[in-house]
Amino acid sequence: MKKVRVIARIDVKNEFAIKGIHLEGLRKVGDPNTMALDYYNNEIDEIVFMDAVAAYYDRNSLSDLIQRACIGVFIPITVGGGIRTIDDIKNALKSGADKVAINTRAVQDPSFITQSSKIFGAQCIVSSIEAKAVEEGKWEVYTDNGREPTGKDVVEWAKSVEKLGAGEIMLTSIDQEGTKRGFDINLYQHVANNVSIPIIASGGMGKSGDAVELIKNANVDAIAIASTLHYRIESIQNIKRTLVENKIKVRL
């Protein structure tokens, strides 16, 4: 059985790590570099930095931050928010990122995924998908950090991004995001049954039991955790221990 990756997701606005609910009402929670180092030293498996306002303001400001975060953090780093051009990806990789997460630009121009995957390799391209429930068993794709509806169906879009050349999908439930009420298991089941690339589940975790519940019921490859870590609700060690106790393999 594969090892499920336990990822810390740090949303960033300007120089601050922030956290909202349903991707809105953002509050400062700390310094992104200090947080990344702390999570690394406590055996997190990976870190995702998302620029929460980049797409909205048409900018990409994470390079400097990643450069600083890279010093002392020797685990994979994914960067998202405001990635629009091949040069943006080059800059992110040069700054120390291993992967980039692309949402808005991919929806506007799906060929951007193919183009970037050909240049940098599929392993480098994470398709970030923001999902909002519209009816039972149906979700709509949103962009611009949960602000803009697109009319696209999440399962169909996930199938498309796989064909286009994405190497992973980071799937965020806007409905659950920041609520600490647990993952939208139904959403991950639907998507996991239709794609064969790795899926990172993001949004809703409030306790380690939520992760167990999700992993037992949907074939996800990683969980991205924000509030639970940022507000020190549970330690990384405790989360991993709970997973192991429930016969889920993780890196220890």
Residue 58: active-site member: no
Residues forming a β-bridge with 128: 170
CA distances for 187 relative to 80, 83, 137, 201, angstroms: 22, 25, 7, 10
C-alpha–C-alpha distance, residues 136 and 66, integer Å = 39
For the CB of residue 117, give the shortest distance to other proteins in the complex, in Å.
10
Site for other proteins, rule CB under 8 A: 1-3, 5, 40, 43, 45, 67, 70-72, 74-76, 93-98, 118-124, 167-168, 196-198, 219, 221, 251-252
R_g over Cα of the chain: 16
> Which residue among the candidates 130, 140, 177, 184 is catalytic per the annotation?
130
CA distances for 169 relative to 34, 73, 113, 244, angstroms: 27, 23, 12, 24
C-alpha–C-alpha distance, residues 122 and 142, integer Å = 23
Identify the residue whose tokens are 């949103």. 142
Residue 31: active-site member: no
For the CB of residue 80, give the shortest distance to other proteins in the complex, in Å.
16
Contact 202, 234 (CB under 8 A): no
Nearer to other proteins, 147 or 159 (CB): 159
Instruction: Show the tokens assigned to 234.
Output: 């549970």
> Which residue among the candidates 11, 177, 184, 210 is catalytic per the annotation?
11
- Where does residue 196 rank: exposed (0-12), middle (13-18), buried (19+ CB within 10 A)? exposed
Nearer to other proteins, 47 or 55 (CB): 47
Number of H helices and E strands in the chain, helices first, is 11, 12
Pairing between strand 222-225 and 199-202?
A: parallel
Active site residues: 11, 130
